[in-house]
Amino acid sequence: MFAYDWLHWSTFFVATFVLNVAPGPDVGYIFAQTLKNGREGGIAAMLGIWTGALGHVFMAAVGLSAVIAASATLFTGIKWLGAAYLIWIGVDAFLSASHAGDEVSEVEANILAQSRSSRAAIFKQGALIALLNPKTAIFFLAFLPQFVVEGAGTNSEQLFLHGILVIVVAAMVDPWVVFLGGKLQAVLHSNTGFSLWSNKFLGGVFVTLGLRLAFLER
Protein backbone atom coordinates (compact mmCIF):
# COMPACT_ATOMS: atom_id res chain seq x y z
CA MET A 1 0.00 0.00 0.00
CA PHE A 2 1.15 3.58 -0.81
CA ALA A 3 4.03 2.28 -2.92
CA TYR A 4 5.11 5.18 -5.14
CA ASP A 5 8.33 5.80 -7.04
CA TRP A 6 10.65 8.78 -6.64
CA LEU A 7 9.23 10.49 -9.74
CA HIS A 8 5.76 10.43 -8.21
CA TRP A 9 6.91 12.03 -4.96
CA SER A 10 9.22 14.57 -6.58
CA THR A 11 6.47 15.72 -8.94
CA PHE A 12 3.92 15.88 -6.15
CA PHE A 13 6.08 17.81 -3.69
CA VAL A 14 7.38 20.28 -6.27
CA ALA A 15 3.83 21.01 -7.45
CA THR A 16 2.56 21.27 -3.87
CA PHE A 17 5.38 23.61 -2.83
CA VAL A 18 4.77 25.92 -5.81
CA LEU A 19 1.05 26.01 -5.02
CA ASN A 20 1.70 26.87 -1.38
CA VAL A 21 4.23 29.65 -1.98
CA ALA A 22 2.05 31.35 -4.62
CA PRO A 23 0.25 34.35 -3.04
CA GLY A 24 -3.41 33.58 -2.48
CA PRO A 25 -6.39 34.31 -0.21
CA ASP A 26 -5.13 32.05 2.58
CA VAL A 27 -1.72 33.74 2.69
CA GLY A 28 -3.37 37.17 2.58
CA TYR A 29 -5.65 36.30 5.48
CA ILE A 30 -2.82 34.92 7.63
CA PHE A 31 -0.63 37.96 6.92
CA ALA A 32 -3.45 40.41 7.66
CA GLN A 33 -4.32 38.73 10.95
CA THR A 34 -0.64 38.77 11.95
CA LEU A 35 -0.44 42.51 11.30
CA LYS A 36 -3.63 43.12 13.26
CA ASN A 37 -3.19 40.70 16.16
CA GLY A 38 0.51 39.81 16.23
CA ARG A 39 2.13 36.43 15.79
CA GLU A 40 -0.36 34.70 18.10
CA GLY A 41 -3.18 35.93 15.87
CA GLY A 42 -1.29 34.82 12.77
CA ILE A 43 -0.72 31.35 14.19
CA ALA A 44 -4.41 31.05 15.11
CA ALA A 45 -5.39 32.13 11.58
CA MET A 46 -2.93 29.65 10.08
CA LEU A 47 -4.25 26.77 12.17
CA GLY A 48 -7.82 27.71 11.27
CA ILE A 49 -7.02 27.72 7.55
CA TRP A 50 -5.34 24.32 7.87
CA THR A 51 -8.36 22.94 9.73
CA GLY A 52 -10.69 24.16 6.98
CA ALA A 53 -8.37 22.66 4.36
CA LEU A 54 -8.43 19.37 6.27
CA GLY A 55 -12.22 19.43 5.99
CA HIS A 56 -11.90 19.77 2.21
CA VAL A 57 -9.40 16.90 2.12
CA PHE A 58 -11.92 14.72 3.94
CA MET A 59 -14.69 15.79 1.57
CA ALA A 60 -12.52 14.99 -1.45
CA ALA A 61 -11.70 11.57 -0.01
CA VAL A 62 -15.34 10.61 0.59
CA GLY A 63 -16.65 12.17 -2.61
CA LEU A 64 -18.45 15.22 -1.23
CA SER A 65 -16.28 17.61 -3.24
CA ALA A 66 -17.49 15.91 -6.41
CA VAL A 67 -21.07 16.54 -5.31
CA ILE A 68 -20.32 20.25 -4.76
CA ALA A 69 -18.60 20.51 -8.14
CA ALA A 70 -21.45 18.74 -9.93
CA SER A 71 -24.32 20.65 -8.30
CA ALA A 72 -24.66 24.22 -9.58
CA THR A 73 -27.17 25.02 -6.82
CA LEU A 74 -24.96 23.70 -4.03
CA PHE A 75 -21.86 25.38 -5.44
CA THR A 76 -23.63 28.74 -5.77
CA GLY A 77 -25.19 28.48 -2.32
CA ILE A 78 -21.85 27.83 -0.62
CA LYS A 79 -20.20 30.54 -2.70
CA TRP A 80 -22.69 33.23 -1.73
CA LEU A 81 -22.72 32.15 1.92
CA GLY A 82 -18.93 32.42 2.04
CA ALA A 83 -18.90 35.76 0.19
CA ALA A 84 -21.54 37.23 2.49
CA TYR A 85 -19.64 36.06 5.57
CA LEU A 86 -16.35 37.60 4.36
CA ILE A 87 -17.92 40.91 3.38
CA TRP A 88 -19.83 41.09 6.67
CA ILE A 89 -16.74 40.69 8.85
CA GLY A 90 -14.83 43.06 6.55
CA VAL A 91 -17.46 45.80 6.94
CA ASP A 92 -17.52 45.15 10.69
CA ALA A 93 -13.74 45.74 10.84
CA PHE A 94 -14.14 49.00 8.89
CA LEU A 95 -16.91 50.19 11.20
CA SER A 96 -14.82 49.37 14.28
CA ALA A 97 -12.02 51.53 12.89
CA SER A 98 -14.28 54.43 11.88
CA HIS A 99 -16.06 54.51 15.24
CA ALA A 100 -12.73 54.87 16.98
CA GLY A 101 -11.97 58.03 14.96
CA ASP A 102 -9.11 58.93 12.68
CA GLU A 103 -7.00 60.39 15.47
CA VAL A 104 -6.44 58.43 18.68
CA SER A 105 -4.51 59.21 21.80
CA GLU A 106 -1.92 56.85 23.20
CA VAL A 107 -4.42 55.70 25.83
CA GLU A 108 -7.04 55.01 23.16
CA ALA A 109 -4.49 53.14 21.07
CA ASN A 110 -3.70 50.93 24.07
CA ILE A 111 -7.41 50.22 24.51
CA LEU A 112 -7.70 49.23 20.85
CA ALA A 113 -4.67 46.97 21.16
CA GLN A 114 -6.20 45.26 24.21
CA SER A 115 -9.44 44.60 22.31
CA ARG A 116 -7.76 42.52 19.63
CA SER A 117 -9.60 39.42 18.51
CA SER A 118 -9.12 36.32 20.63
CA ARG A 119 -7.12 33.44 19.21
CA ALA A 120 -10.17 31.16 19.38
CA ALA A 121 -12.27 33.61 17.36
CA ILE A 122 -9.53 34.00 14.74
CA PHE A 123 -9.14 30.22 14.52
CA LYS A 124 -12.88 29.72 13.94
CA GLN A 125 -12.90 32.54 11.41
CA GLY A 126 -10.03 31.00 9.44
CA ALA A 127 -11.65 27.57 9.45
CA LEU A 128 -14.96 28.98 8.19
CA ILE A 129 -13.27 31.05 5.49
CA ALA A 130 -11.55 27.92 4.17
CA LEU A 131 -14.61 25.69 4.46
CA LEU A 132 -16.97 28.17 2.79
CA ASN A 133 -14.80 28.47 -0.30
CA PRO A 134 -16.08 26.02 -2.94
CA LYS A 135 -13.01 26.81 -5.07
CA THR A 136 -10.90 24.99 -2.46
CA ALA A 137 -13.11 21.92 -2.77
CA ILE A 138 -12.73 21.95 -6.55
CA PHE A 139 -8.97 22.48 -6.24
CA PHE A 140 -8.54 19.34 -4.15
CA LEU A 141 -10.92 17.48 -6.46
CA ALA A 142 -8.85 18.48 -9.51
CA PHE A 143 -5.37 18.24 -8.01
CA LEU A 144 -5.34 15.17 -5.78
CA PRO A 145 -6.69 12.56 -8.26
CA GLN A 146 -3.71 13.23 -10.53
CA PHE A 147 -1.56 11.40 -7.97
CA VAL A 148 -3.77 8.36 -7.49
CA VAL A 149 -1.87 5.26 -8.63
CA GLU A 150 -3.63 2.00 -9.42
CA GLY A 151 -2.78 -0.68 -6.88
CA ALA A 152 -1.26 1.72 -4.33
CA GLY A 153 -4.38 1.69 -2.17
CA THR A 154 -8.02 2.63 -2.45
CA ASN A 155 -8.83 5.94 -4.11
CA SER A 156 -10.11 7.40 -0.84
CA GLU A 157 -6.98 6.40 1.07
CA GLN A 158 -4.68 7.87 -1.56
CA LEU A 159 -6.67 11.10 -1.81
CA PHE A 160 -6.60 11.51 1.95
CA LEU A 161 -2.85 10.80 2.17
CA HIS A 162 -1.93 13.30 -0.52
CA GLY A 163 -4.36 15.87 0.87
CA ILE A 164 -2.74 15.63 4.28
CA LEU A 165 0.68 16.06 2.66
CA VAL A 166 -0.51 19.26 0.96
CA ILE A 167 -1.23 20.64 4.44
CA VAL A 168 2.16 19.35 5.70
CA VAL A 169 3.90 21.33 2.96
CA ALA A 170 1.80 24.36 3.89
CA ALA A 171 3.13 23.91 7.44
CA MET A 172 6.61 24.51 6.07
CA VAL A 173 5.61 27.68 4.19
CA ASP A 174 2.90 29.52 6.15
CA PRO A 175 4.92 30.01 9.37
CA TRP A 176 7.27 32.24 7.36
CA VAL A 177 4.29 34.45 6.51
CA VAL A 178 3.55 34.75 10.23
CA PHE A 179 7.22 35.43 11.00
CA LEU A 180 7.51 38.22 8.42
CA GLY A 181 4.15 39.70 9.37
CA GLY A 182 5.18 39.63 13.03
CA LYS A 183 8.41 41.49 12.23
CA LEU A 184 6.49 44.20 10.37
CA GLN A 185 3.87 44.40 13.11
CA ALA A 186 6.58 44.88 15.75
CA VAL A 187 8.04 47.79 13.78
CA LEU A 188 4.70 49.50 13.20
CA HIS A 189 3.17 48.81 16.61
CA SER A 190 4.79 51.91 18.16
CA ASN A 191 2.70 54.10 15.83
CA THR A 192 -0.40 55.20 17.75
CA GLY A 193 -2.51 55.02 14.60
CA PHE A 194 -1.39 51.51 13.75
CA SER A 195 -4.32 49.76 15.44
CA LEU A 196 -6.79 51.74 13.35
CA TRP A 197 -4.80 51.23 10.16
CA SER A 198 -4.47 47.48 10.75
CA ASN A 199 -8.22 47.22 11.37
CA LYS A 200 -8.94 48.96 8.08
CA PHE A 201 -6.37 46.79 6.30
CA LEU A 202 -7.94 43.61 7.68
CA GLY A 203 -11.38 44.86 6.68
CA GLY A 204 -10.10 45.53 3.17
CA VAL A 205 -8.68 42.01 2.93
CA PHE A 206 -12.00 40.48 3.98
CA VAL A 207 -14.09 42.57 1.58
CA THR A 208 -11.68 41.85 -1.29
CA LEU A 209 -11.79 38.10 -0.61
CA GLY A 210 -15.58 38.24 -0.37
CA LEU A 211 -15.93 40.05 -3.70
CA ARG A 212 -13.49 37.64 -5.38
CA LEU A 213 -15.52 34.71 -4.11
CA ALA A 214 -18.82 36.35 -5.17
CA PHE A 215 -17.63 36.64 -8.78
CA LEU A 216 -16.08 33.17 -8.83
CA GLU A 217 -17.19 31.04 -11.75
CA ARG A 218 -17.35 27.26 -11.60
The 3-class secondary structure across the chain, one letter per residue, is CCCCCHHHHHHHHHHHHHHHHCCCHHHHHHHHHHHHHHHHHHHHHHHHHHHHHHHHHHHHHHCHHHHHHHCHHHHHHHHHHHHHHHHHHHHHHHHHHHHHCCCCCHHHHHHHHHCCCCHHHHHHHHHHHHHCCHHHHHHHHHHHHHHCCCCCCCHHHHHHHHHHHHHHHHHHHHHHHHHHHHHHHHHHCCCCCHHHHHHHHHHHHHHHHHHHHHCCCC
Please indicate, yes or no, if residue 13 is contained in any of the structural domains.
Answer: no
Classify residue 12: in a domain, yes or no. no
Lowest mean pLDDT among 35-39, 85-89, 187-191: 187-191
| Average pLDDT for 196-209 | 69
Determine the average pLDDT of the residues in 110-139: 73
Given this model, what pLDDT does residue 193 score?
60
| Residue 179 pLDDT > 90 | yes
Higher pLDDT, 59 or 65: 59
Is a pLDDT exceeding 70 seen at residue 209? no
Average pLDDT over residues 167-181: 91
In a domain, 205, yes or no: yes
Is residue 78 scored above 80 in pLDDT? no
Q: Is residue 20 part of a domain?
A: no
In a domain, 180, yes or no: yes
The total number of structural domains in the chain stands at 1
* Global confidence as pTM: 0.73
Within-domain flag for 168:
yes
Mean pLDDT of all residues belonging to the chain? 76
Q: 6 in a domain, yes or no?
A: no
Mean pLDDT of 102-118: 48
**Does some domain include residue 7?**
no
Residues 6 or more apart from 118 whose CB is under 8 A from it?
A: none
pLDDT at residue 109 tops 70: no
Domain that holds residue 200: 25-214
